[in-house]
Amino acid sequence: MLESLRRIVQQVNNAPDLEQALRIIVERVKQAVGADVCSVYLNDFEHRRHVLHATDGLRATAVGRVRLEMGRGLIGLVSERAEPINLDDAVNHPRYQRITDTGEEQYHGFLGAPIIQNRKVLGVLVLRQREKRHFGDDEVTFVVTLASQLAGAITFARTNGELARLQDDGIPQRFLPGLPASPGVALGTAVVVYPPADLNAVPDRRAENPEGEVHDFLSAVEQVAEDLDRFAVRTQSHLSAEDLALFDAWRLMLESDTLIDGTLTRIRSGNWAPGALRDTIAEHAKVFDDMDDPYLRERSSDVRDLGRCILTHLQKLTAAPIQYVPNTILVGEELSAMQIADVPRELLAGIVSTTGSGSSHVGILARGMGVPAAMAVADLPVGRVEGRELVVDGYRGRVYVAPGPTVKSEYQRLAADDAALTSELQALRHLPAETTDGYQVPLYLNTGLVSEARPLGLEESVGVGLYRTELPFIVRDTFPGEAAQMSNYRRVLELFAPRPVTIRTLDIGGDKPLPYFPMQEANPFLGWRGIRITLDQPDIFLTQIRAVLRASIGLDNLQILLPMISTVGEVDEALLLIHRAHEELLEEGYQVHLPPIGVMIEVPAAVYQCEALARRVDFLSVGTNDLTQYLLAVDRNNAHVAKLYDEFHPAVLRALLQILAGARVHGREVSVCGEMAGDPLAAFLLVGMGIHSLSMGAGSLLRVKQVIRSISRTRAREVLKVALQCEDALAVRRLLLDALEAVGLGGLVRPGK
């Protein structure tokens, strides 16, 4: 049974689409267990029903037609209980429901296993037997294991819209859930971006000029053929005749009727060339996947490789700049900072990603730009929404595709409320962030890309509390040299002078890889990141330090911040290098001063060594994004565990108190520069604790300022005291929501006034 399990899992994983995966499952499971019927029902949440999606044993015509109301029958029971049900005679069970259309009345034995992903039941895998039969433990385990494999395939199909296509109900009319990433409401038009040379990510698009698409496709094929010939000649002397024959096989595949005619037919039926190619390659690869011979089965990856090569050429030929329309809602499976930065700011209304979470860097960027965003909207059929109207509710992390008139007018009202709130907040621009009893908590800006033309947050903040230097490194092809870095830092320092600007040394690694500095790590967040890289590569560190020191000459508003510190040794080493760079510059005749130096407290180890760290530096800055991730062992980008990621977890609150206590011993100030600082709810806690300053994205400055100006320090301390009694994040959140509502500011964290 183990061998057939392994085989089936492999075949399911190789299946080009969900329909195939389901077909493989029902056929092979029925055969392996010796049952009379194997079927898969999938939950259609939109219409609250279980729909028969595949069967081996029941009438084929029943597929798609048998729709059982949720909460009824044995299928409903398996789904409700979220556990397998094994009955030797289903007919006698009180929940037994006779289903016509399938010929099911003749069956007695029943085994139903839920298909679960992320605690959500997506469907039910069912085995039936004509006679009475109690399925054995091994058989139950076998079916449960396969059901969990299927869950992955279903989630993937939901993401690329295939499930919606199979359910032929079009795009759901209700909202698609995701995670809130940046507050606000946006109505606009979807512009889908996708990574290059990724066939699976290619969306469907209408071919405006089918003959043009045909021409491009054929030229791309021709270019791949030329590439193959070139490779064959180049490798002739190193390869055996047998290996060289592979090139001939590829040429044959490339020029086969299945590939060429299949794609041309699809183009002429209306899809653009990349979409047509995607479907043809999937169909062609499936033929090989289904073969019993392992050698021939492997050929499916050759077909996919060829598809990728053709797509690469096709994309070069058709690389027209993306057309951003007014009120663009940027949509993608895994958006990058570059893709967001590519959209002219005045056209960008909202951001939607099917992966990630509010604390991933794309979420941070969206908040910094004040653009409503929803992440992890896994059910969004990315391939099918290009050009469609979307509503993004950044408060709740929801998306509506082609909203009906009621939803649309409600969100138009909310957007108008939001605009009114934003203009009300403008009145606070030049006012200090001061509580009603006169306690000041200066608000600083987090930034990474400063545009002089439109310097967001310049007037609303008292300086830059966190300048992330990664972005200027990410948007290039090689490491920038000292001069290039210097002019970049100089611009920021000048723009904000005489106000302080805290420049953080390079914090690459984790979810911020550099395209030209490849790293392959099993656990990037626990790996070579931040200060660990720059101390191992002192040349990178020294170049950056020399650039920031030189950039600050005559301005003297620079502060340096060291990321990802986990030992005092790292601080000592970094200080040594900073002093060395300083002395070198003095020797070279530059009038440079040593700036205040701080460390980020974002690793639990640093929390417990705050006192020793504070003794060595001038200030501490808490990176609550990473601190939360590491304290709670929750990847900040992983949508599966995003529900567990919460900065209001009691452990995070206690860590903050511990940091303050350590810093106090040496009279050092503590700021918070993680996303928690920009959450209006957190203001009560941070002010209550006595955090000295907060640093946040431009979009949050006025919101947080308004909370601080509406509460007293005494009230903040009271709220903190109660919060510290709470045993989980949810209780803290509820408490803070009530406190915010009580001062009439609930509208800052939910839509509407």
Q: How many residues does the chain have?
A: 753
User: Which residue lies nearer to ligand PEP by CB, 307 or 358?
Assistant: 358
Question: Nearest distance from residue 605's CB to ligand PEP, in Å?
Answer: 14
As a three-state string, the secondary structure of 424-452 is: HHHCCCCCCCECCCCCECCEEEEECCCCC
Task: Give the DSSP H/E element, type plus range, for residue 280.
Answer: helix 273-289
Question: Nearest distance from residue 361's CB to ligand PEP, in Å?
Answer: 7
Total residues contacting ligand PEP by CB under 6 A comes to 10
User: Which residue lies nearer to ligand PEP by CB, 20 or 461?
Assistant: 461
468 binds, among ligand PEP, Mg ion, none (CB under 5 to 8 A by kind): ligand PEP
**Whole-number Å distance between alpha carbons of 752 and 421:** 9
* Binding segment (CB under 6 A) for ligand PEP, from list 49-57, 236-244, 346-354, 618-626: 618-626
* Binding segment (CB under 6 A) for ligand PEP, from list 414-422, 519-527, 588-596, 622-630: 622-630
Q: Which of 623, 688, 697, 699 binds Mg ion (CB under 5 A)?
A: 623
**Whole-number Å distance between alpha carbons of 378 and 394:** 15
* Residue tagged 């972005």 (tokens): 471
Those residues whose C-beta lies under 8 Å from the C-beta of residue 648, and which sit 6 or more positions away, are 681, 682, 685, 723, 729, 732, 733, 736
When asked if residue 626 is in the footprint of Mg ion (CB under 5 A), the reply is yes
Cα torsion 678, 680, 682, 684: sign = positive
624 binds, among ligand PEP, Mg ion, none (CB under 5 to 8 A by kind): ligand PEP
**Whole-number Å distance between alpha carbons of 125 and 316:** 44
447 binds, among Mg ion, ligand PEP, none (CB under 5 to 8 A by kind): none
User: Which residue lies nearer to Mg ion by CB, 474 or 726?
Assistant: 474
> How far from the centroid of its chain's Cα atoms is residue 546's Cα?
35
The 564-603 site mask, x for binding ligand PEP (CB under 6 A), equals --------------------------------------x-
Cα 242-295-147 angle, rounded to 5 deg: 155
**Whole-number Å distance between alpha carbons of 576 and 570:** 10
* Binding segment (CB under 5 A) for Mg ion, from list 177-185, 425-433, 464-472, 594-602: 594-602
When asked if residue 188 is in the footprint of ligand PEP (CB under 6 A), the reply is no
DSSP characters for 295-345? HHHHHHHHHHHHHHHHHHHHHHHT-PPP-PPTTEEEEESS--HHHHHTS-G
User: Which residue lies nearer to ligand PEP by CB, 468 or 713?
Assistant: 468
Among candidate residues 695, 368, 452, 704, the one with its CA nearest the CA of residue 561: 695
Q: Look up 361 and say whether it is catalytic.
A: yes
User: Which residue lies nearer to ligand PEP by CB, 25 or 729?
Assistant: 729
CB 382 within 8 A of CB 333: yes
**Whole-number Å distance between alpha carbons of 559 and 465:** 9
Q: Which of 674, 697, 699, 747 binds ligand PEP (CB under 6 A)?
A: 674
Q: Which of 16, 442, 623, 699 binds ligand PEP (CB under 6 A)?
A: 623
Question: Nearest distance from residue 599's CB to ligand PEP, in Å?
Answer: 12
673 binds, among Mg ion, ligand PEP, none (CB under 5 to 8 A by kind): ligand PEP
Catalytic residue, candidates 38, 309, 610, 673: 673
CB 617 within 8 A of CB 597: yes
674 binds, among ligand PEP, Mg ion, none (CB under 5 to 8 A by kind): ligand PEP
What are the angstrom distances between the C-alpha of 49 and each of 44, 153, 156, 163, 200?
5, 20, 20, 14, 29
Query: 506 to 525, contacts with ligand PEP by CB under 6 A?
Result: 507
User: Which residue lies nearer to ligand PEP by CB, 158 or 468?
Assistant: 468
Please give the residue whose beta carbon sits closest to Mg ion in the complex.
626
* Binding segment (CB under 6 A) for ligand PEP, from list 180-188, 623-631, 652-660, 703-711: 623-631
* Binding segment (CB under 5 A) for Mg ion, from list 216-224, 290-298, 626-634, 736-744: 626-634
Query: Residue 700 carries which DSSP code?
Result: G
CB 695 within 8 A of CB 465: yes
The 90-119 site mask, x for binding ligand PEP (CB under 6 A), equals ------------------------------
Question: Nearest distance from residue 10's CB to ligand PEP, in Å?
Answer: 38
Catalytic residue, candidates 361, 610, 649, 726: 361
Among candidate residues 215, 207, 202, 204, the one with its CA nearest the CA of residue 270: 207
Q: In what order do the strands lie in the sheet with 328-332?
A: 176-177, 398-401, 389-393, 185-192, 328-332, 348-353, 373-375, 179-182
**Whole-number Å distance between alpha carbons of 653 and 353:** 30
Query: Residue 102 carries which DSSP code?
Result: T
User: Which residue lies nearer to ligand PEP by CB, 17 or 626?
Assistant: 626
162 binds, among ligand PEP, Mg ion, none (CB under 5 to 8 A by kind): none
User: Which residue lies nearer to Mg ion by CB, 395 or 444?
Assistant: 444
When asked if residue 465 is in the footprint of Mg ion (CB under 5 A), the reply is no
User: Which residue lies nearer to ligand PEP by CB, 358 or 674?
Assistant: 674
When asked if residue 280 is in the footprint of ligand PEP (CB under 6 A), the reply is no
When asked if residue 468 is in the footprint of ligand PEP (CB under 6 A), the reply is yes
When asked if residue 635 is in the footprint of Mg ion (CB under 5 A), the reply is no
Task: Give the DSSP H/E element, type plus range, for residue 600.
Answer: strand 597-601
When asked if residue 673 is in the footprint of ligand PEP (CB under 6 A), the reply is yes
Query: 489 to 508, contacts with ligand PEP by CB under 6 A?
Result: 507
Q: Which of 19, 333, 626, 679 binds ligand PEP (CB under 6 A)?
A: 626
**In this structure, what are the phi and psi dihedrals at residue 393, rounded to the nearest 5 degrees?**
-105, 100
Among candidate residues 509, 568, 494, 580, the one with its CA nearest the CA of residue 543: 580
383 binds, among Mg ion, ligand PEP, none (CB under 5 to 8 A by kind): none
**Whole-number Å distance between alpha carbons of 734 and 341:** 35
384-387 — which CB contacts under 8 Å span 24+ positions? 384/161, 384/164, 384/165, 384/171, 384/203, 384/204, 385/171, 385/190, 385/192, 385/203, 385/331, 386/190, 386/191, 386/192, 386/203, 386/204, 386/205, 387/189, 387/190
Question: Nearest distance from residue 432's CB to ligand PEP, in Å?
Answer: 24
* Binding segment (CB under 5 A) for Mg ion, from list 20-28, 96-104, 595-603, 721-729: 595-603
What are the angstrom distances between the C-alpha of 701 and each of 441, 446, 643, 697?
12, 10, 26, 7
CB 674 within 8 A of CB 622: yes
When asked if residue 625 is in the footprint of ligand PEP (CB under 6 A), the reply is yes
User: Which residue lies nearer to Mg ion by CB, 190 or 676?
Assistant: 676
User: Which residue lies nearer to ligand PEP by CB, 460 or 626?
Assistant: 626
Residues with catalytic roles: 361, 673
Contact residues: ligand PEP, CB under 6 A: 466, 468, 507, 602, 623-626, 673-674
Contact residues: Mg ion, CB under 5 A: 602, 623, 626
